[in-house]
Amino acid sequence: MKNIAVPFLIFVTQTGVVQAQQTGAKPAWKTVTVYTTADKTDYRLSKTNTLTLTPFGQPLETQPCVFIDATRKFQTITGIGGAITDATAETFAKLPAESQSELINAYYSAGKGIGYSLVRTNMNSCDFSSDTYTYVAENDVALKTFSIAHDEKYRIPMIKKAIATAGGKIPLYISPWSPPAWMKDNNNMLQGGKLKESYKQSWASYFVKYIKAYEAKGIPVWGLTVQNEPMAKQRWESCIFTAEEERDFIKKYLGPALQQQGLGSKKLIAWDHNRDLLYQRATTILNDPAAAKYVWGIGYHWYETWTGSAMQFENLKRVHETFPNTNLIFTEGCVEKFDLNRINEWSIGERYGFSMVNDFNSGTVAWTDWNILLDENGGPNHVGNFCFAPVHADTKTGKLIYTNAYYYLGHFSKFVKAGAKRIGTASSRDKLITTAFINPDGRLIVVVLNLSNDAVEYNLWLQGNAAAVNSLPHSITTLVIE
């Protein structure tokens, strides 16, 4: 443990996570290292200052402050990362070796990059695939033809490189967009439809087959979601589950199948859709003990804004206070409607920063971006649903293009380690929004977001000591306190 005073004891929990336990006296947090990304500057995750906390006492109302209370600990962070889809892996395969190495290090290296610690991937095809496919032959109810040969060409090799670069271990979870067409009442993997009753057991077994096939390839699977966006009839792969239908599929089929096949420890995530219907879905599933016993968490996306609504963080808080022992996990978000002319828009990264600060403050334990890499067209995508990623590849030149979303994500993922706990924090000015964490090594990580057009001078205040910080307009800063 670095720079922590003697009155802290180190112990190892049953899960092996090293934590600090206070024994009565205050720790000697003194040094603050400031990292900044700001509009109209060259700062991109740049080290911009080193400060010292000095005695300050009671702030006045005229002295803007960001307050930190490290004695108040909340949820434990599982990880922060993004999705490796077919589109990501296919784009990656088109790059020269040098750019491939750059991309993998940029995301998964703790030293050279932003240290991603979580991966999502698609089971069967999704919109960000070049075509529609499954892993079994038509009408193979017994799944005797099941094979993941499709994934072995692009996706599995890339995932393996990510795991190796991340240190040999990274939580990966899987999400289906649709069962095979013959299992559905519309006989189509696209355009919604529902899973037929007669195939529910076979579809539950499909998850088991997929997980075991990936693990046989040396890729451990940490968790799974039941269905991507189960209330959306899309022109791409989709499948509708009402809350009651998802509840019953979990308790009658998927949960028991995982248990019976020795996969009961996998983290089962329900919903995997927007924040707007989050509370209704969570209460319907989790109020049923027979379903709830299988559920590790509730997943959510940020696309409720399509209705004209703002992001509905209050719904996260309602679920968190109602079911404090169930984990909240952000499973997908991206900026839609790709346009290469918008690649440098500052609002792209700010959407990430705004969501992440509020999601973590609402109880979220893990945060997953959508595609980590797309091409210069915002694809490939077999239905033309082109979107932004934090990094795009110009497949003609082999060069990588970094949007500011990459840096905004990095202000969290590079510094907030798996096993960190969120701690108390508050701002005395509405132009600054903030969240904070204590890492397993005892360092404090404070993220401050300024969405305004104004620079804001404030005091970073901790246990009666403070350091003066300048928040630039349209900036995000991470302050590491040791």
Out of 418, 442, 466, pick the residue that ends a domain. Answer: 418
- Tell me the pLDDT of the chain averaged across its residues: 95
For residue 14, is it within any domain?
Answer: no
- Residue 37 has a pLDDT of 99
For residues 403 and 420, is the Cβ–Cβ distance under 8 A?
no
For residue 17, is it within any domain?
Answer: no
DSSP string, 5-38: -TTEEEEE-TT--EEEEE-SSPP---EEEEEEEE
For residues 118 and 171, is the Cβ–Cβ distance under 8 A?
yes
Per-residue pLDDT at 24 exceeds 70? no
* CA gap 367, 53 in Å, rounded: 31
CB atoms within 10 A of CB 144: 8
* Percentage above 70 pLDDT, the chain: 94
CA distances from 198 to 183, 202, 350, 360 (A): 8, 8, 46, 40
In terms of pLDDT, which residue wins out, 422 or 19? 422
What is the three-class DSSP state of 356? helix
Catalytic residues: 229, 332
- Residue 178 has a pLDDT of 98
- Residue 266 has a pLDDT of 98
CA distances from 33 to 8, 426, 460 (A): 22, 19, 12
- Residue 366 has a pLDDT of 99
In degrees and rounded to multiples of 5, residue 33 shows phi and psi of -105, 130
* Per-residue pLDDT reduced to its tens digit, 332-374: 999 999 999 999 999 999 999 999 999 999 999 999 999 999 9
Query: Does 401 share its domain with 266?
Result: yes
Query: Domain containing 437: what range?
Result: 31-75+423-481
For residue 327, is it within any domain?
Answer: yes
Query: Does 129 share its domain with 260?
Result: yes
Q: Identify the band that residue 4 occupies on the pLDDT scale cut at 50, 70 and 90.
A: very low
Query: Does 178 share its domain with 271?
Result: yes
In terms of pLDDT, which residue wins out, 22 or 96? 96
Out of 391, 418, 445, pick the residue that ends a domain. Answer: 418
Query: Does 360 share its domain with 408?
Result: yes
* Per-residue pLDDT reduced to its tens digit, 142-164: 999 999 999 999 999 999 999 99
- Residue 258 has a pLDDT of 98
CA distances from 282 to 107, 275, 277, 308, 309 (A): 32, 11, 9, 23, 20
Give bridge partners of residue 356 from the DSSP assignment. none
CB atoms within 10 A of CB 235: 12
Query: Does 121 share its domain with 53?
Result: no
- Residue 457 has a pLDDT of 98
Domain of residue 438, CATH code: 2.60.40.1180
- Residue 28 has a pLDDT of 84
For residue 407, is it within any domain?
Answer: yes
* CA gap 152, 289 in Å, rounded: 39
CB atoms within 10 A of CB 419: 20
Out of 394, 418, 442, pick the residue that ends a domain. Answer: 418
DSSP string, 277-337: GHHHHHHHHHTSHHHHTT--EEEEESGGGGGTPPP-HHHHHHHHHH-TTSEEEEEE---BS
For residue 5, is it within any domain?
Answer: no
For residue 23, is it within any domain?
Answer: no
- Residue 401 has a pLDDT of 98
Query: Does 275 share its domain with 128?
Result: yes
* Per-residue pLDDT reduced to its tens digit, 399-408: 999 999 999 9
Residue range 264-280: average pLDDT? Answer: 98
- Residue 188 has a pLDDT of 98
- Residue 26 has a pLDDT of 55
* Per-residue pLDDT reduced to its tens digit, 415-466: 999 999 999 999 999 999 999 999 999 999 999 999 999 999 999 999 999 9
In sequence order, what E strands does 326-379 have? 327-332, 364-371, 373-375
DSSP string, 149-187: HHHHHTHHHHHHHHHHHTTS---EEEEES---GGGBTTS
Query: Does 238 share its domain with 318?
Result: yes
**Type of residue found at 455:** A
Query: Does 439 share its domain with 477?
Result: yes
For residue 4, is it within any domain?
Answer: no
Query: Does 433 share its domain with 414?
Result: no
Q: Identify the band that residue 246 occupies on the pLDDT scale cut at 50, 70 and 90.
A: very high
**DSSP state, residue 199:** G
**DSSP state, residue 254:** I
3-state helix, strand, coil in the chain (%, to 5): 30, 30, 40
In degrees and rounded to multiples of 5, residue 196 shows phi and psi of -70, 145
Give the number of domains in the chain: 2
Query: Does 377 share its domain with 438?
Result: no
In terms of pLDDT, which residue wins out, 4 or 409? 409
* Per-residue pLDDT reduced to its tens digit, 412-425: 999 999 999 999 99
Per-residue pLDDT at 390 exceeds 80? yes
Residue range 362-389: average pLDDT? Answer: 98
- Residue 133 has a pLDDT of 98
CB atoms within 10 A of CB 453: 9
Q: How distant is the alpha carbon of residue 209 from its chain centre? A: 25
* CA gap 439, 169 in Å, rounded: 19
- Residue 10 has a pLDDT of 28
* CA gap 364, 405 in Å, rounded: 19
Query: Does 49 share its domain with 148?
Result: no
Domain of residue 349, CATH code: 3.20.20.80
In sequence order, what E strands does 85-131 have? 119-123
**Peptide bond just before 380 cis, omega within 30 deg:** yes
For residue 392, is it within any domain?
Answer: yes
**DSSP state, residue 191:** S
For residues 356 and 367, is the Cβ–Cβ distance under 8 A?
yes
**DSSP state, residue 410:** H
* Per-residue pLDDT reduced to its tens digit, 84-102: 999 999 999 999 999 999 9
Cα–Cα nearest to 454, from 433, 469, 468, 472: 472
For residues 92 and 103, is the Cβ–Cβ distance under 8 A?
yes
**Type of residue found at 445:** I
* Per-residue pLDDT reduced to its tens digit, 214-227: 999 999 999 999 99
Query: Does 200 share its domain with 215?
Result: yes
* Percentage above 90 pLDDT, the chain: 94
